């Protein structure tokens, strides 16, 4: 049976167990540890459902997942659940049991069963590391096009110095470089005793990207290749039962012991300048204290000083070459049916586009992208040529031009665009497409979500004129670049002055939907089926701080006076998060 079949079969068995649990009203004749087995088995259902989604995605398996190890643990889990299903299945015709006598196994069997479940949970925890650290945000096909150019300038990555920093201007392509290095290293060290781990820092995710979580993310990536060591097993056993998180000291100790199992380890940290100074100092101190077999690479803007924390640091400037930008533009023109048609009718237009964008971009990929995206909206060859003449040469002027395009749309499209941008810019973490679609569909005063009010992603991205993008790799919605955040802080104050109040109002309206109070007894199904619930439960009231406290004080107080359902869902979600 292939891995997809194993997951599907295991989920069927768990569904059978859930039904059995519904039949059984009272498990008083079972020992606590036996009852715990049933609870623990049911608790892995959301993990299996998430795993089922990932392995059905062609990019899922092979992107950090140890398939052999995963298959082994899945088969162990399936075997256990199969035995439980056989033992607990209610006889045909039984409606409900008032008392259920069941003799499973002895204490050793119970311990083995719980161990099987925990081993799978541990694998699921490792599998989820991409949510914190390892997000490949650049198209792999595009990486191949510019990797050769970078290697000609820099040399082979395997010959890296022990500590290197790549300095860049805003939009110069530092994440591109990080992705190139990671992609090349993982391709070239295959089969060798060399480890590669990466952190992509993001200014919107500083709460989730604590130093402890990031250090844990690094050893989780490295431990995939080596399996569970004694130190990892001990750490997991220590925190599994109380459902606590390892401390920074503990995760750093495990990382240190893990890197010793490799002859060499490469750690890449992208966008160090997007990380708050205090956390940055802690992270750098931990990384710089690793063994000499660890090679560190950082990308950051030049104003960030780290030489006093990381000794023997060498710096190189990142600057996109003319050839890099031309290759990028060539690929983007091919992707645009409109530009391709213009060039087919006027072949000289390609050189004109490339020449002007290269000159105006001044070594910044971001400007090149914004310019080519703007040209791709033009309906005629003349409109393209006019845009080339008036093309801005700096980021703020380019953002001004994009904002002008947004405000030049119909009134409905303009309002929608600023609602979307406001949500993406103010979200406490990057939103998934399904989450953004749901919250945009919320109507004030409604008690449920109307499916007919859901927007499609094409519309969402189109009205934002390129300021909001969808990452195919990590399936999140983001602003095109972190530099737009500072720019938008001023623009949104005019275009959408009540953003925090509007967001709070929408979250409270959403949390008051009837379906949550009616189904609060089954939080697992609610969180699995309703996309925005996780965000609303965790962060909804965080948006209420400040202006909303005065603007909509009555609404907030009314919600807090009757928030038992929210509190129950939040508590359950907190326990679920501690498992994954």
Other C-beta atoms closer than 10 Å to the C-beta of 115 total 13
* Residue 511 confidence (pLDDT) above 70: yes
What mean pLDDT is predicted for residues 76-95?
61
Contact (CB, 8 A) for 148 and 111: no
Looking at residue 70, its pLDDT comes to 63
Mean pLDDT across 533-542? 89
Confidence at residue 494, expressed as pLDDT on a 0 to 100 scale: 78
What's the rounded Cα separation, in Å, for the pair 502 and 61?
40
422 three-state secondary structure? helix
Give the per-residue pLDDT at 273. Answer: 82
**pLDDT beyond 70 at 560:** yes
Least confident stretch, 17-21, 239-243, 529-533 = 17-21
Q: What is the pTM of this model?
A: 0.57
pLDDT higher than threshold 80 for residue 268 = yes
CA dist 238 and 428 (Å) reads: 31
φ, ψ for residue 96, nearest 5 deg? -155, 140
Query: Quick one: pLDDT at residue 92?
Result: 47
| 157 vs 540 pLDDT, higher one | 540
Please give the structure tokens belonging to residue 169.
């201007």
**Residue 309, pLDDT score:** 81
Both structure tokens of 138:
């650049």
pLDDT greater than 60 at residue 159? no
Between CA 58 and CA 65 the distance in angstroms is: 12
The encoded tokens of residue 121 equal: 């949970």
The arithmetic mean of pLDDT across residues 156-181, rounded, is 58
**What pLDDT, on a 0 to 100 scale, did the predictor assign at position 576?**
53
Give the pLDDT band (50/70/90) at residue 409. Answer: very high
Residue with tokens 């439960």: 537
Of 50-59, 509-518, 530-539, the one with minimum mean pLDDT is: 50-59
Q: What percent of the chain has pLDDT over 70?
A: 69
Task: Determine the average pLDDT of the residues in 25-41.
Answer: 57
8 Å CB contact between 491 and 498: no
Which residue, 150, 87, 145, 141, is CA-closest to 113? Answer: 87
Distance of CA 527 to the CA centre of its chain: 17
Segment 368-390 shows an average pLDDT of 92
The lowest-confidence range among 77-91, 229-243, 531-545 is 77-91
Q: Is 100 a residue whose pLDDT tops 50? A: no
What's the burial of 289, exposed, middle or buried (CB within 10 Å: 0-12/13-18/19+)? exposed
Give the integer Cα–Cα distance in Å for 407 and 11. Answer: 49
Distance CA 159, CA 180 (A): 15
Provide the mean pLDDT of the chain: 77
Percent of the chain with pLDDT over 90: 26
Pairing status of strand 314-318 against strand 163-168: parallel
Confidence band for 63, pLDDT divided at 50, 70 and 90: very low
Asked if residue 521 has pLDDT above 70, the reply is yes
pLDDT for residue 134: 46
The stretch 307-334 carries a mean pLDDT of 83
pLDDT digits (tens, 9 = 90+) for 450-476: 999 999 999 999 999 889 988 766 688
In sequence order, what DSSP letters do the residues of 14-56 get, joined into one string? HHHHHHHHHHBS--TTS-HHHHHHHHHHHHTHHHHHHHHHHHH
Q: Tell which wins on pLDDT, 274 or 334.
A: 334
Residue 3 has pLDDT above 70, yes or no: no
Residues 341-373 have pLDDT tens digits of 999 999 999 999 999 999 988 778 888 888 998
Confidence band of 54 (pLDDT split at 50, 70, 90)? low
Higher-pLDDT residue of 314, 437: 437
């Amino acid at each position: 049976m292939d891995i997809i079949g194993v997951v599907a079969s295991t989920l069927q068995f768990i569904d059978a167990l859930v039904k059995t649990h519904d039949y059984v009203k009272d498990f008083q004749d079972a020992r606590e540890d036996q009852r715990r087995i049933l609870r623990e088995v049911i608790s892995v259902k959301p993990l299996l459902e998430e795993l089922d989604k990932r392995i059905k995605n062609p990019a899922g398996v092979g992107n950090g997942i140890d398939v052999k190890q995963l298959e082994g643990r899945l088969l162990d889990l399936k075997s256990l659940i199969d035995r439980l299903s056989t033992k607990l299945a209610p006889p045909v015709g039984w409606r409900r049991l008032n008392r259920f006598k069941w003799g499973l196994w002895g204490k050793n069997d119970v311990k083995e069963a719980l161990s099987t479940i925990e081993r799978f949970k541990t694998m699921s925890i490792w599998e989820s590391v991409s949510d914190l650290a390892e997000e490949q945000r650049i198209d792999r096909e595009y990486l191949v096009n510019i990797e050769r150019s970078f290697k000609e300038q820099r040399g082979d990555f395997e010959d890296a110095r022990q500590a290197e920093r790549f300095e860049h201007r805003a939009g110069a392509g530092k994440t591109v470089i990080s992705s190139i290095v990671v992609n090349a290293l993982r391709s070239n060290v295959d089969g060798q005793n060399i480890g590669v781990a990466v952190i992509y820092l993001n200014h919107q995710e500083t709460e989730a990207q604590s130093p402890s979580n990031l250090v844990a993310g690094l050893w989780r990536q490295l431990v995939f290749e080596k399996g569970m060591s004694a130190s990892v097993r001990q750490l997991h056993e220590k925190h599994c039962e109380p459902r606590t998180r390892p401390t920074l000291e503990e995760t750093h100790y495990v990382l240190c012991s893990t890197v010793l199992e490799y002859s060499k380890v490469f750690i890449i940290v992208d966008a160090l300048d997007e990380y708050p100074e205090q956390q940055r100092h802690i992270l750098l101190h931990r990384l710089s204290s690793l063994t000499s077999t660890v090679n560190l690479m950082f990308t950051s803007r030049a104003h960030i000083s780290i030489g006093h924390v990381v000794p023997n640091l060498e710096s190189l400037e990142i600057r996109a070459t003319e050839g890099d930008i031309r290759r990028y533009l060539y690929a983007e023109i091919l992707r645009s049916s409109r530009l391709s048609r213009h060039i087919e009718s006027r072949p000289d237009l390609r050189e004109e586009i490339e020449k002007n964008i290269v000159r105006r971009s001044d070594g910044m990929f971001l400007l090149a992208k914004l310019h080519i995206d703007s040209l791709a909206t033009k309906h005629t060859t003349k409109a393209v040529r006019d845009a080339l003449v008036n093309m801005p040469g700096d980021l703020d002027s380019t953002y001004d031009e994009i904002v002008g395009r947004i405000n030049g749309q119909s009134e409905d499209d303009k309002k929608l665009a600023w609602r979307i941008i406001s949500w993406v810019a103010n979200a406490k973490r990057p939103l998934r497409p399904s989450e953004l679609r749901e919250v945009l569909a919320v109507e004030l005063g409604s008690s449920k979500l109307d499916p007919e009010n859901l927007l499609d992603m094409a519309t969402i991205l189109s009205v934002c004129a390129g300021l909001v993008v969808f990452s195919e790799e990590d399936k999140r919605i983001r602003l095109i670049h972190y530099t737009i955040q500072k720019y938008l802080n001023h623009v949104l104050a005019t275009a959408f002055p009540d953003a925090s109040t509007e967001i709070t109002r929408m979250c409270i309206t959403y949390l008051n939907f009837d379906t949550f109070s009616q189904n609060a007894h089954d939080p697992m199904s609610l969180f699995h089926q309703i996309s925005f619930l996780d965000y609303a439960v965790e962060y909804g009231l965080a948006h209420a701080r400040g202006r909303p406290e005065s603007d909509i004080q009555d609404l907030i107080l009314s919600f807090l006076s009757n928030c038992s359902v929210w509190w129950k869902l939040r508590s359950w979600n907190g326990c679920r998060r501690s498992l994954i």
